[in-house]
Structure 1
Amino acid sequence: MAQFSGLTAVILNCSLQHEAKESHTRLLLNRVAGIMRTEGVEVEIIHMLEHRVGFGMVTDTTSLGDERDDWPGIHAKIMDADILVIGTPIWLGVKSSVATLAIERLYAYSGETNEHGQYLYYGKVGGCVVTGNEDGVKACSMETLYALSHIGYTIPPQADCGWLGEIGPGPSYGDTPDGADVPAGFDSEFTNKNATIMTWNLMHTAKMLKEQGGFPVGGNVAETWRDYTNAEDQDPHAD
């Protein structure tokens, strides 16, 4: 039996390519998903631009007059999953607008709580994958992982990976330049190593949290934080 059977993961591909098969980010996400599936994790990759997802800090934009909003269905799958990975290309040095939209829609649920009274995403694990041909992997990861952490996701050690080509126009991940034997990035030891470490850390952390029934309760519930040792009771002038 695979080590992580029983875990589930949703991978959001926030590529700007409307066709999933044309997405360079998808190729690196497939490698992450391949590790997970081999180890028993049930994985679904969702290509965001194959869906109609409205803008707004609301849980369902049909309440604002949109005829259709696919986000509530996507969010239901995210809530059923132990692991969420956001994949994004780099554009103008930052994550894609689609990735920003996904994070905004996740944040719209931030006022809701789980069965313990903790914020909704407690007990779930987050990571990110970044591709591009210019600098910015760390900056995009920083934004994405902080946002996931802020809304309740647990971020394991080294929870990101990426691939960059040379600065400026050039091959994206998976392109095969003239005269090359291997598509760009496929044989990058740095990328393959980090993708592997990230994926295993996500699975290990998700398994630990699931086995103990989520994130421990104590001092982290909005309704009862004063019942525990808290900041309000501490002396700001104490040495």
Structure 2
Amino acid sequence: MKALFLNCSLKTSDEPSNTDALYKEAEAIFDKEGVETESVRLADYKIAYGISDDEGNGDEWPAIFEKVKAADIVVLGTPLWLGEKSSIATLAIERLYGGSGLTNDLGQSLYYNKVGGVVITGNEDGAKHAAASVLYGFSHIGITVPPNVDAYWVGEAGPGDSYIEANGQKNDFATGHAKTMAHNLVHFARIFCDNPIPAKGNTME
């Protein structure tokens, strides 16, 4: 099985990501369970605005989309800004939505039999709101959302340290949720590998 982490930090990969640091707790579980993992920092790429799977003119989303199609588990990670998921996270959801008209061999949404979760960090409120937005987006396009697949850490309101600087890895609630998320995602992904969703009643033809 393969797990793909779409890191929607506004920072490129030459800078540390708090969201990535929390995701590492889940990644460790994936590794133990024999799940191949890959992390993509979307800020490193030129991703066009739009709601198709390829916007052309140098759009680098199609290469990322190939990784999504190959994944059994998709985890989106985002920081919080003004209590909302990042602009890149919104862009990622829009581009995923752009591929929702594509189908598998049974005529179902291409995202059927994939499972998804979300990782959020920030130093202000909004984690549950952002999680709800991301997970609804996943469910709407056909990605299955198992229970307890939102892992988050937030610090005090206003400017301040975020996950890494505040030693968030010592927060049992945040790290515990990341581990629960990973276990539940792996369990449901294995179910779908052995027993995919039947095509009856949910094809797009």
State the TM bucket, normalised to the shorter chain: over 0.9
Where does 1:149-160 land on structure 2 (aligned, <5 Å)? Answer: 149-160=139-150
The residue that corresponds to 2:131 in the other structure is 141
| Alpha-carbon distance in structure 1 between the residues aligned to 2:158 and 2:67 | 37
Q: Is the 8 A contact 2:73 2:115 kept in 1?
A: yes
Deviations 1:106-128, CA, capped at 9 Å, x for gaps: 11111111111111100100100
The residue that corresponds to 2:109 in the other structure is 119
The residue that corresponds to 1:232 in the other structure is none
One-letter amino acid matched to 1:195: A
The residue that corresponds to 1:97 in the other structure is 87
Where does 1:153-232 land on structure 2 (aligned, <5 Å)? Answer: 153-175=143-165, 183-212=166-195, 214-223=196-205
One-letter amino acid matched to 1:59: D
TM-score, L = length of structure 2: 0.97
| Alpha-carbon distance in structure 1 between the residues aligned to 2:34 and 2:14 | 24
Shift of 1:20: 4.7
Q: Is the 8 A contact 2:22 2:175 kept in 1?
A: no
TM-score, L = length of structure 1: 0.83
- The DSSP-based 3-state class of the residue aligned with 2:69 is helix
Shift of 1:30: 1.7
- The DSSP-based 3-state class of the residue aligned with 2:170 is coil
Q: Is the 8 A contact 1:132 1:172 kept in 2?
A: yes
Task: Say which structure, 1 or 2, has more relative contact order (CA 8 Å, 6+ apart).
Answer: 2
Percent identical: 46
The residue that corresponds to 1:233 in the other structure is none
- Cα RMSD for the two superposed structures: 1.1
Q: Is 1:79 paired with 2:62?
A: no
| Alpha-carbon distance in structure 2 between the residues aligned to 1:125 and 1:75 | 15
Deviations 1:154-187, CA, capped at 9 Å, x for gaps: 1001111100111111111101xxxxxxx42111
One-letter amino acid matched to 2:200: G
Q: Is the 8 A contact 1:20 1:47 kept in 2?
A: no
The residue that corresponds to 2:11 in the other structure is 17
| Alpha-carbon distance in structure 2 between the residues aligned to 1:9 and 1:159 | 14
The residue that corresponds to 1:46 in the other structure is 40
Q: Is the 8 A contact 2:103 2:204 kept in 1?
A: no
- Which sections of structure 2, spanning at least 5 residues, go unmatched? none
The residue that corresponds to 2:119 in the other structure is 129
- The DSSP-based 3-state class of the residue aligned with 1:129 is strand
Match of 1:37 among 23, 31, 35: 31
Shift of 1:222: 3.0
| Alpha-carbon distance in structure 2 between the residues aligned to 1:204 and 1:96 | 29
| Alpha-carbon distance in structure 2 between the residues aligned to 1:206 and 1:194 | 18
| Alpha-carbon distance in structure 2 between the residues aligned to 1:156 and 1:82 | 13
| Alpha-carbon distance in structure 2 between the residues aligned to 1:59 and 1:137 | 28
One-letter amino acid matched to 1:50: D
Q: If you compute each CA radius of gyration, which structure gives the higher value, 1 or 2? A: 1
Q: Is the 8 A contact 2:11 2:43 kept in 1?
A: yes
Corresponding pairs, count: 205
